[in-house]
Amino acid sequence: AAGHATAVAHPNIALIKYWGKRDDHLILPASDSLSMTLDVFSTTSHRPAGTRGRGGPGDPQRHPGGRRAVPAGGRLVRERARRAERAVVDTRNTVPTGAGLASSASGFAALAVAATAAYGLRLDATELSRLARRGSGSASRSIFGGFALWHAGRGTGADADLSSYAEPLPVGDLDAALVIAIVDAGPKAVSSRVGMRRTVETSPLYGPWVESSRADLTEMRAALLRGDLEAVGEIAERNALGMHATMLAARPAVRYMAPATLTVLDSILRLRQDGVAAYATMDAGPNVKVLCAGADADRVARTLRSGASRTYIARLGPGACLRAED
Ligand code: DP6
Protein backbone atom coordinates (compact mmCIF):
# COMPACT_ATOMS: atom_id res chain seq x y z
CA ALA A 1 0.00 0.00 0.00
CA ALA A 2 1.04 3.60 -0.39
CA GLY A 3 2.85 5.08 2.61
CA HIS A 4 2.31 8.05 4.81
CA ALA A 5 3.54 11.52 3.96
CA THR A 6 2.95 15.13 4.96
CA ALA A 7 4.06 18.10 2.88
CA VAL A 8 3.87 21.85 3.42
CA ALA A 9 3.78 24.54 0.73
CA HIS A 10 3.19 28.29 0.60
CA PRO A 11 1.32 30.51 -1.83
CA ASN A 12 3.14 32.61 -4.38
CA ILE A 13 2.27 35.95 -5.94
CA ALA A 14 3.23 36.59 -9.55
CA LEU A 15 5.19 39.75 -10.36
CA ILE A 16 5.06 38.82 -14.05
CA LYS A 17 1.65 37.22 -14.52
CA TYR A 18 0.47 33.94 -15.93
CA TRP A 19 -2.77 34.66 -17.74
CA GLY A 20 -3.86 32.39 -20.56
CA LYS A 21 -3.05 28.87 -21.64
CA ARG A 22 -1.87 27.54 -24.98
CA ASP A 23 -2.90 24.03 -23.89
CA ASP A 24 -5.83 23.70 -21.48
CA HIS A 25 -5.33 20.01 -20.80
CA LEU A 26 -1.59 20.05 -20.09
CA ILE A 27 -1.84 23.51 -18.48
CA LEU A 28 0.79 25.11 -20.66
CA PRO A 29 0.88 28.90 -20.36
CA ALA A 30 1.14 31.35 -23.23
CA SER A 31 4.10 33.09 -21.61
CA ASP A 32 6.71 32.76 -18.87
CA SER A 33 5.79 34.09 -15.43
CA LEU A 34 7.75 35.07 -12.34
CA SER A 35 6.70 35.02 -8.70
CA MET A 36 7.70 35.37 -5.10
CA THR A 37 6.77 32.63 -2.64
CA LEU A 38 5.37 33.96 0.64
CA ASP A 39 6.01 32.94 4.23
CA VAL A 40 2.32 33.14 5.25
CA PHE A 41 -0.76 30.93 4.80
CA SER A 42 0.85 27.53 4.36
CA THR A 43 -1.05 24.53 3.07
CA THR A 44 -0.40 21.08 4.46
CA SER A 45 -1.17 17.98 2.49
CA HIS A 46 -1.28 14.85 4.54
CA ARG A 47 -1.77 11.28 3.48
CA PRO A 48 -3.03 9.15 6.34
CA ALA A 49 -1.51 5.67 6.46
CA GLY A 50 -3.65 2.73 5.54
CA THR A 51 -6.60 4.68 4.16
CA ARG A 52 -8.05 4.23 0.75
CA GLY A 53 -10.60 6.16 -1.07
CA ARG A 54 -11.91 7.46 -4.30
CA GLY A 55 -12.38 11.00 -5.32
CA GLY A 56 -13.12 13.40 -8.10
CA PRO A 57 -10.60 15.98 -9.16
CA GLY A 58 -9.25 17.54 -5.99
CA ASP A 59 -9.53 21.26 -5.66
CA PRO A 60 -7.96 22.55 -2.46
CA GLN A 61 -8.85 26.07 -3.60
CA ARG A 62 -12.52 25.48 -2.98
CA HIS A 63 -11.90 24.46 0.60
CA PRO A 64 -9.90 27.17 2.30
CA GLY A 65 -9.43 26.87 6.00
CA GLY A 66 -10.84 23.38 5.99
CA ARG A 67 -10.02 19.77 5.57
CA ARG A 68 -11.05 17.64 2.69
CA ALA A 69 -10.14 14.36 1.13
CA VAL A 70 -8.69 14.61 -2.37
CA PRO A 71 -7.21 11.82 -4.44
CA ALA A 72 -3.54 11.30 -3.69
CA GLY A 73 -2.16 13.16 -6.64
CA GLY A 74 -4.71 11.43 -8.76
CA ARG A 75 -4.17 9.50 -11.91
CA LEU A 76 -0.88 11.19 -12.82
CA VAL A 77 0.89 10.04 -9.69
CA ARG A 78 -0.57 6.53 -9.86
CA GLU A 79 0.60 6.21 -13.44
CA ARG A 80 4.07 7.37 -12.53
CA ALA A 81 4.22 4.90 -9.66
CA ARG A 82 2.62 2.11 -11.72
CA ARG A 83 0.19 1.59 -8.87
CA ALA A 84 -3.53 1.07 -9.15
CA GLU A 85 -4.69 1.78 -5.63
CA ARG A 86 -6.22 5.12 -4.81
CA ALA A 87 -5.44 6.91 -1.59
CA VAL A 88 -6.97 9.63 0.52
CA VAL A 89 -5.18 12.91 1.09
CA ASP A 90 -6.24 15.56 3.59
CA THR A 91 -5.42 19.09 2.61
CA ARG A 92 -5.49 21.83 5.20
CA ASN A 93 -5.13 25.46 4.24
CA THR A 94 -4.30 28.21 6.68
CA VAL A 95 -5.48 30.89 4.28
CA PRO A 96 -8.12 32.68 6.35
CA THR A 97 -11.54 31.66 5.09
CA GLY A 98 -12.92 34.35 2.88
CA ALA A 99 -9.62 36.16 2.58
CA GLY A 100 -10.09 36.08 -1.15
CA LEU A 101 -6.64 34.65 -1.68
CA ALA A 102 -6.22 31.61 -3.87
CA SER A 103 -4.81 28.58 -2.16
CA SER A 104 -4.65 26.43 -5.27
CA ALA A 105 -0.94 27.16 -5.75
CA SER A 106 0.11 26.03 -2.28
CA GLY A 107 -2.51 23.27 -2.31
CA PHE A 108 -1.36 21.56 -5.47
CA ALA A 109 2.33 22.07 -4.65
CA ALA A 110 1.85 20.37 -1.27
CA LEU A 111 -0.24 17.66 -2.88
CA ALA A 112 2.44 16.89 -5.48
CA VAL A 113 5.13 16.54 -2.81
CA ALA A 114 3.01 14.48 -0.39
CA ALA A 115 1.44 12.20 -2.98
CA THR A 116 4.66 11.31 -4.75
CA ALA A 117 6.38 10.60 -1.44
CA ALA A 118 3.45 8.45 -0.30
CA TYR A 119 3.77 6.35 -3.44
CA GLY A 120 7.53 6.02 -3.01
CA LEU A 121 8.41 8.15 -6.05
CA ARG A 122 11.58 10.17 -5.87
CA LEU A 123 10.99 13.12 -8.18
CA ASP A 124 13.42 15.98 -8.48
CA ALA A 125 12.18 19.56 -8.05
CA THR A 126 11.72 20.03 -11.80
CA GLU A 127 9.49 16.98 -12.04
CA LEU A 128 7.53 18.04 -8.95
CA SER A 129 7.02 21.45 -10.51
CA ARG A 130 5.68 19.87 -13.72
CA LEU A 131 3.37 17.66 -11.71
CA ALA A 132 2.05 20.54 -9.57
CA ARG A 133 1.48 22.49 -12.80
CA ARG A 134 -1.06 19.89 -13.91
CA GLY A 135 -3.19 20.70 -10.86
CA SER A 136 -3.00 24.47 -11.19
CA GLY A 137 -0.50 26.40 -13.31
CA SER A 138 0.65 28.73 -10.56
CA ALA A 139 1.35 25.72 -8.29
CA SER A 140 4.43 24.94 -10.41
CA ARG A 141 6.07 28.01 -8.83
CA SER A 142 5.21 27.16 -5.19
CA ILE A 143 7.56 24.15 -5.32
CA PHE A 144 10.32 26.74 -4.90
CA GLY A 145 10.99 29.33 -2.23
CA GLY A 146 12.06 32.90 -2.89
CA PHE A 147 11.65 34.06 -6.48
CA ALA A 148 10.72 31.54 -9.17
CA LEU A 149 10.41 31.60 -12.94
CA TRP A 150 7.90 29.31 -14.69
CA HIS A 151 8.89 28.53 -18.26
CA ALA A 152 6.09 28.41 -20.79
CA GLY A 153 7.91 25.47 -22.43
CA ARG A 154 9.01 24.84 -25.99
CA GLY A 155 6.98 23.27 -28.80
CA THR A 156 3.76 21.38 -28.23
CA GLY A 157 2.52 18.17 -26.66
CA ALA A 158 5.06 16.00 -24.82
CA ASP A 159 7.98 18.34 -25.63
CA ALA A 160 6.17 21.28 -24.15
CA ASP A 161 5.04 19.25 -21.14
CA LEU A 162 8.68 18.35 -20.41
CA SER A 163 9.99 21.88 -20.83
CA SER A 164 7.32 23.76 -18.87
CA TYR A 165 8.41 23.92 -15.21
CA ALA A 166 9.46 26.51 -12.68
CA GLU A 167 12.93 27.05 -11.29
CA PRO A 168 14.42 29.26 -8.60
CA LEU A 169 15.72 32.59 -9.77
CA PRO A 170 19.01 34.17 -8.74
CA VAL A 171 18.49 37.61 -7.24
CA GLY A 172 20.69 40.32 -5.79
CA ASP A 173 20.46 41.81 -2.34
CA LEU A 174 16.75 42.52 -1.96
CA ASP A 175 14.70 43.08 1.19
CA ALA A 176 11.23 42.59 -0.24
CA ALA A 177 7.94 42.42 1.62
CA LEU A 178 4.43 42.01 0.30
CA VAL A 179 1.55 43.72 2.07
CA ILE A 180 -1.74 42.00 1.29
CA ALA A 181 -4.70 44.38 1.44
CA ILE A 182 -8.03 42.56 1.67
CA VAL A 183 -10.82 44.70 0.30
CA ASP A 184 -13.48 42.09 -0.31
CA ALA A 185 -13.67 38.62 1.12
CA GLY A 186 -16.52 37.51 -1.13
CA PRO A 187 -16.23 34.72 -3.69
CA LYS A 188 -14.83 35.70 -7.07
CA ALA A 189 -17.19 36.43 -9.91
CA VAL A 190 -15.36 34.39 -12.55
CA SER A 191 -12.81 31.65 -11.83
CA SER A 192 -9.34 32.32 -13.19
CA ARG A 193 -9.68 29.27 -15.40
CA VAL A 194 -12.80 30.64 -17.10
CA GLY A 195 -11.54 34.23 -17.09
CA MET A 196 -8.32 33.20 -18.79
CA ARG A 197 -10.04 31.26 -21.50
CA ARG A 198 -12.42 34.09 -22.27
CA THR A 199 -9.54 36.58 -22.40
CA VAL A 200 -7.49 34.42 -24.77
CA GLU A 201 -10.47 33.79 -27.03
CA THR A 202 -12.02 37.25 -27.19
CA SER A 203 -9.70 40.03 -26.04
CA PRO A 204 -8.07 42.00 -28.87
CA LEU A 205 -5.45 43.15 -26.36
CA TYR A 206 -4.34 39.66 -25.41
CA GLY A 207 -1.65 39.16 -28.05
CA PRO A 208 0.00 42.53 -27.38
CA TRP A 209 -0.04 41.84 -23.63
CA VAL A 210 1.80 38.55 -24.12
CA GLU A 211 4.38 40.42 -26.20
CA SER A 212 4.84 43.16 -23.62
CA SER A 213 4.97 40.58 -20.85
CA ARG A 214 8.00 38.99 -22.52
CA ALA A 215 9.78 42.33 -22.47
CA ASP A 216 8.70 42.91 -18.85
CA LEU A 217 10.20 39.56 -17.87
CA THR A 218 13.59 40.39 -19.36
CA GLU A 219 13.66 43.72 -17.54
CA MET A 220 12.38 42.14 -14.34
CA ARG A 221 15.16 39.54 -14.27
CA ALA A 222 17.77 42.25 -14.62
CA ALA A 223 16.14 44.39 -11.92
CA LEU A 224 16.05 41.42 -9.52
CA LEU A 225 19.71 40.65 -10.16
CA ARG A 226 20.60 44.28 -9.41
CA GLY A 227 18.45 44.14 -6.27
CA ASP A 228 16.61 47.21 -7.60
CA LEU A 229 13.33 47.09 -5.67
CA GLU A 230 11.90 50.22 -7.31
CA ALA A 231 12.38 48.82 -10.79
CA VAL A 232 11.00 45.43 -9.70
CA GLY A 233 7.91 47.17 -8.34
CA GLU A 234 7.37 49.38 -11.37
CA ILE A 235 7.60 46.45 -13.77
CA ALA A 236 5.33 44.27 -11.61
CA GLU A 237 2.70 47.00 -11.36
CA ARG A 238 2.58 47.72 -15.08
CA ASN A 239 2.50 43.99 -15.90
CA ALA A 240 -0.48 43.45 -13.57
CA LEU A 241 -2.37 46.51 -14.83
CA GLY A 242 -1.76 45.34 -18.40
CA MET A 243 -3.17 41.92 -17.54
CA HIS A 244 -6.29 43.54 -16.10
CA ALA A 245 -6.58 45.70 -19.23
CA THR A 246 -6.62 42.59 -21.44
CA MET A 247 -9.36 41.14 -19.24
CA LEU A 248 -11.43 44.32 -19.40
CA ALA A 249 -11.22 44.14 -23.19
CA ALA A 250 -12.59 40.57 -23.25
CA ARG A 251 -16.16 40.07 -24.46
CA PRO A 252 -17.95 40.10 -22.13
CA ALA A 253 -15.44 41.90 -19.90
CA VAL A 254 -13.73 40.00 -17.11
CA ARG A 255 -13.46 42.47 -14.25
CA TYR A 256 -11.95 41.61 -10.89
CA MET A 257 -11.22 45.13 -9.68
CA ALA A 258 -13.77 46.67 -7.32
CA PRO A 259 -14.16 50.33 -6.30
CA ALA A 260 -12.19 49.55 -3.13
CA THR A 261 -9.37 48.18 -5.28
CA LEU A 262 -8.98 51.60 -6.91
CA THR A 263 -9.10 53.31 -3.50
CA VAL A 264 -6.13 51.20 -2.42
CA LEU A 265 -4.32 52.00 -5.69
CA ASP A 266 -4.83 55.72 -4.94
CA SER A 267 -3.31 55.26 -1.47
CA ILE A 268 -0.30 53.58 -3.05
CA LEU A 269 0.16 56.53 -5.41
CA ARG A 270 0.10 58.89 -2.42
CA LEU A 271 2.62 56.74 -0.57
CA ARG A 272 4.92 57.01 -3.58
CA GLN A 273 4.47 60.79 -3.63
CA ASP A 274 5.63 60.70 -0.01
CA GLY A 275 8.76 58.86 -1.07
CA VAL A 276 7.77 55.31 -0.08
CA ALA A 277 8.60 52.72 -2.76
CA ALA A 278 5.32 50.75 -2.87
CA TYR A 279 3.87 49.04 -5.94
CA ALA A 280 0.64 47.16 -6.55
CA THR A 281 -0.14 43.84 -8.14
CA MET A 282 -3.60 42.26 -8.43
CA ASP A 283 -4.74 38.79 -9.41
CA ALA A 284 -8.12 37.24 -10.19
CA GLY A 285 -9.86 39.14 -7.42
CA PRO A 286 -10.28 42.64 -5.95
CA ASN A 287 -7.52 42.40 -3.31
CA VAL A 288 -4.25 44.27 -3.74
CA LYS A 289 -0.78 42.95 -2.97
CA VAL A 290 1.77 45.68 -2.38
CA LEU A 291 5.46 45.16 -2.95
CA CYS A 292 7.69 47.30 -0.75
CA ALA A 293 10.88 47.17 1.28
CA GLY A 294 10.70 45.15 4.47
CA ALA A 295 11.52 48.30 6.44
CA ASP A 296 8.46 50.09 4.97
CA ALA A 297 5.98 47.23 5.36
CA ASP A 298 4.45 48.42 8.66
CA ARG A 299 3.92 51.93 7.35
CA VAL A 300 2.41 50.65 4.10
CA ALA A 301 0.06 48.31 5.99
CA ARG A 302 -1.03 51.12 8.33
CA THR A 303 -1.74 53.45 5.43
CA LEU A 304 -3.76 50.88 3.51
CA ARG A 305 -5.87 49.94 6.51
CA SER A 306 -8.20 52.88 5.82
CA GLY A 307 -9.34 51.40 2.50
CA ALA A 308 -8.89 47.71 3.26
CA SER A 309 -10.77 45.51 5.70
CA ARG A 310 -7.58 43.63 6.68
CA THR A 311 -3.90 43.67 5.90
CA TYR A 312 -1.24 40.99 6.19
CA ILE A 313 2.50 41.39 5.86
CA ALA A 314 4.36 38.61 4.07
CA ARG A 315 8.04 38.11 3.31
CA LEU A 316 9.87 35.63 1.14
CA GLY A 317 8.97 32.09 2.07
CA PRO A 318 10.37 28.59 1.57
CA GLY A 319 9.69 26.02 -1.11
CA ALA A 320 7.39 23.03 -0.71
CA CYS A 321 8.87 20.27 1.42
CA LEU A 322 8.11 17.03 3.19
CA ARG A 323 7.54 17.37 6.87
CA ALA A 324 8.89 14.92 9.38
CA GLU A 325 6.15 12.58 10.53
CA ASP A 326 4.50 13.44 13.77
C1 DP6 B 1 -3.97 35.81 -11.88
O2 DP6 B 1 -2.82 29.03 -11.55
O3 DP6 B 1 -5.06 29.62 -10.54
O4 DP6 B 1 -3.01 34.44 -10.18
O5 DP6 B 1 -3.79 27.05 -14.09
O6 DP6 B 1 -6.21 27.52 -14.43
O7 DP6 B 1 -5.40 26.66 -12.21
P8 DP6 B 1 -5.09 27.50 -13.44
O9 DP6 B 1 -4.92 29.00 -12.97
P10 DP6 B 1 -4.17 29.63 -11.72
O11 DP6 B 1 -4.04 31.13 -12.26
C12 DP6 B 1 -3.34 32.12 -11.59
C13 DP6 B 1 -3.54 33.42 -12.29
C14 DP6 B 1 -3.03 34.64 -11.57
C15 DP6 B 1 -1.64 35.04 -12.06
C16 DP6 B 1 -0.48 34.19 -11.59
O17 DP6 B 1 -0.51 33.62 -10.49
O18 DP6 B 1 0.50 34.13 -12.36
| DSSP per-residue letters across 43-54 | EEEEE-TT----
In this structure, how many other beta carbons lie within 10 angstroms of the beta carbon of residue 127?
Answer: 17
Q: Per-residue pLDDT for 311 more than 70?
A: yes
* ipTM exceeds 0.95, yes or no: yes
Please enumerate in sequence order all residues whose Cβ is within 8 A of that of 222, keeping only pairs 6 or more positions apart, or say none: none
Q: Residues lining ligand 1, CB < 6 A?
A: 14, 17-19, 27, 33, 102, 104, 136-138, 192-193, 283-284
Pick from 10, 35, 138 the residue to mutate for probing ligand 1's pocket: most ligand atoms within 8 Å of its CB: 138
150-175 tens-digit pLDDT: 999 999 999 999 999 999 999 999 99
pLDDT at 168: 98
Q: How far is the CA of 316 from the centre of ligand 1 (A)?
A: 19
62-93 tens-digit pLDDT: 444 444 444 445 678 888 888 877 777 788 88
